[in-house]
Amino acid sequence: MSEEDPNDSKVVQLFAPGSTDARGESGQQSEPQRPKAASGRGSIRQEVTKLMGALEPLDPPNGDSLAPPDGAHRNAMPCPQCDRITWRHTRHCLHCGADLVVYVRLQAQQRRARLEAIFWSCAAVSWVIAVTCFELATRGNLRPKLRTALYFVGGAIVAVNLFGFWIATQNERR
């Protein structure tokens, strides 16, 4: 830094002025320079405090502590109470103060209930198909290859359903 910069007063110097690097001129590892006892932790803390005090806080454009998001932002969501745009991962709506965590939990429970209803209806339909495959294979006058295929399809449906039931009960055990 050969030129005088007005921001140099805010730069904390790690090495003494005039030193080129930590290795020295001969390329040997030299003893690192330590701060003197007089300029111990208290003076460094004071220096950092002074520098932090010189920083200007960044305020949102409208002066609020947390500005509402743009509607196209990926973390924007409409408030369920006032229908104004607010941040998705905040505890309360920025405009009306509605508790968004309760709303998100309620949405998750409703989504899970819908998925469970779809799962159980698919399971019931697939069991009907499996029973039909077994009935056709045992009662009909079918060629042996077709009978084997029906047994295989019925058995595969049963195996997939049993695996699905096992997966579904794993969340209840925790």
The residue ranking higher by pLDDT, 11 or 100, is 100
Residues 76 and 94 sit within 8 Å (Cβ to Cβ): no
Q: How confident is the model at residue 56 (pLDDT cuts 50, 70, 90)?
A: low
The residue ranking higher by pLDDT, 159 or 92, is 159
The residue count for the chain: 174
Say which DSSP state 10 is in.
G
Q: Across residues 27-45, what is the average pLDDT?
A: 58
| Overall pTM surpassing 0.85 (yes/no) | no
165: Cβ contacts below 8 Å, ≥ 6 apart: 123
Q: Across residues 26-42, what is the average pLDDT?
A: 53
pLDDT digits (tens, 9 = 90+) for 106-119: 888 999 899 889 98
Domain residue ranges of the chain, discontinuous segments joined by +: 115-169
**Which residues on adjacent β-strands are paired with residue 87?**
76
Tally Cβ neighbours within 10 Å of residue 13: 9
